[in-house]
Amino acid sequence: MNTTKLYDIAAYIWPSYTGDEPRTRMFWPEGGGEWETVRKAAAKYPGHTWPRRPLWGYCNEADPYVMEMQINAAADHGVNVFIYDWYWYDGRPFLEQCLNNGYLRARNNDRVKFYLMWANHDVTHLWDRRISHIEDNIIWQAAVNRAEFEPIALRLIEQYFKHPSYYTIHGKPVFMIYDIGRLVQGLGGLAQTADALNWFRAQAVQRGLPGLHLQLTSWGAERLNLREVDPEADFPPGETAKRIGLDSQTHYQMCHFTPIDRDYTEIIPDMVKEWELMDTLYDIPYFPHVSIGWDNNPRYQVFRPGVVKNNNTPENFQKALELAKAYADAHPNQPPLITINSWNEWTETSYLQPDDLYGYGYLEAVKRVFGKA
C-alpha cells in the first residue's frame, strides 16, 4: 500500500444512469436511462458472465444523495477524481444532469474532484438495444464550427472551470477532447483548430483563470494523423499534437489501441508497450491508463465480437494498476495522474462500482495500490 506519495486516480463517468434528461427517452423509453439496458442484458454464449447486477441498485445518479454515497465510496478506496463524459448535440448540452444535479449538488464533492471530457462523437442508435444493429445511422453529428464552438467554450469556463472542485494541473483547469478529428473537421482544419484553442485559452485567462490544460484522448500512440479531415495536416503524431497545442494525453479505453478478443493477461503487456510508444513519439506528458475490460454486448440483442475473454479479475486489474503506478513513479516531473475506465460503464463491462460477481473487488484493488495507510 502507498504510504507516502499521493496519486490522482481519475475514473471516467458515463452520465446516462438517470432519467432526468428528456432526450434520453428516445433510447431508453422506460425513463431510467441506460439502466434499462443493464436490466435487460443477458448471456450471449456459454460462460458469458452476464447478466451482472449493481450492488447499489439501479439508482438515479442525478440525485445528490446518491452521489454523496458514491463520492464517499470512491474517496475511501483511493479514487479522487471523476472525469465526466460531456456532450453537446443539436445546439445544446446533453446528459448534464448527472453532473449538474448529482455531483455538483452533493455536499461532499470536495472529496473527489472532477473534470470534463468532451465526448464529441456522433450519435447513432448504439444506445438503443432495440435497433442498435443498424449501422451508420447518425442521429446527431458532433462536429461544430467556430460560431458554435465559442459559446460552448465560454459556457464551460463560467459553469464548470471555476468550480472549487474542478481538477487542475499547475492551477489550470484540465479539459479533455475525445475526438480531435471531429473537432478539426468542424472547425475547418488543423490551423483553424489551433487558433480556436488559443482563443479558448485566452478567454479563460480573461475570465480570471491562469489558462487551460488541454488534454487529448488518444486512440493509439501511432494513430494521431489528421490528413483525412485536413489533407495539409499530414504530420507525425508528435508534430500534430504540437501544432494543435495539446498539453497532455491519456486513453479512454485499451480497446482503442490493441485487440481485445483474448485474455486480459495478454492485453497488459500491450498496454505497457503503448505507454513506451507515448514516451517515444511525443514531447507532451502521457498519463497512464488502465481499463478493467470491454464487452458491450449488453447493448445488443445478438452477440457482438470484441470481448475481453477471461481473467479481468480484480487481482489482475491490480497488477495493471501497479504497472501504472510504476510508470507514474518513473516520470516524477509530471503530475501523478492515472486514468481508469471507468466508474460506471456497465454496458461496456468496465466499471469500478460493486456488482454481484466481484462485489467491491475492483475498488479494493485500487485501495490496495493507491490507498493511504
DSSP string, 309-358: -S---HHHHHHHHHHHHHHHHT-TTS--EEEEE-SSBGGGTB--S-BTTT
Cell numbers standing for residue 188: 475547418
How do residues 260-304 score in pLDDT, each as one tens digit? 999 999 999 999 999 999 999 999 999 999 999 999 999 999 999
Whether residue 109 is predicted with pLDDT greater than 60 in this model: the reply is: yes
Whether residue 5 is predicted with pLDDT greater than 80 in this model: the reply is: no
Whether residue 98 is predicted with pLDDT greater than 70 in this model: the reply is: yes
Q: Are the C-beta atoms of residues 335 and 328 closer than 8 Å to each other?
A: no
Query: Residue ranges per domain, the chain?
Result: 8-370
How do residues 59-76 score in pLDDT, each as one tens digit? 999 999 999 999 999 999
State residue 373's pLDDT score.
54
d(CA 27, CA 22): 10
Whether residue 371 is predicted with pLDDT greater than 70 in this model: the reply is: yes
Hey, what amino acid is at 318?
Q
Hey, what amino acid is at 311?
N
Pick from 37, 106, 32, 39: which is nearest to 73 by CA?
106
Mean pLDDT of 318-347: 98
Q: Which residues contact 122 (CB under 8 A, 6 or more apart)?
A: 138, 140, 141, 142, 182
State residue 79's pLDDT score.
98
For strands 113-118 and 81-89, give the pairing.
Answer: parallel
State residue 1's pLDDT score.
46
Superfamily for domain range 8-370: Glycosidases (3.20.20.80)
Split at pLDDT 50, 70, 90, the class of 4 is low
Q: Give pTM, 2 decimals.
A: 0.98
Mean pLDDT taken over the chain? 96
Neighbours of 148 (CB within 10 A): 14
Whether residue 232 is predicted with pLDDT greater than 80 in this model: the reply is: yes
Whether residue 2 is predicted with pLDDT greater than 70 in this model: the reply is: no
Cell numbers standing for residue 287: 498519463
Q: Which regions of the chain does DSSP assign to beta strands (E)?
A: 8-13, 81-89, 92-94, 113-118, 168-169, 172-177, 213-218, 248-251, 289-291, 337-341
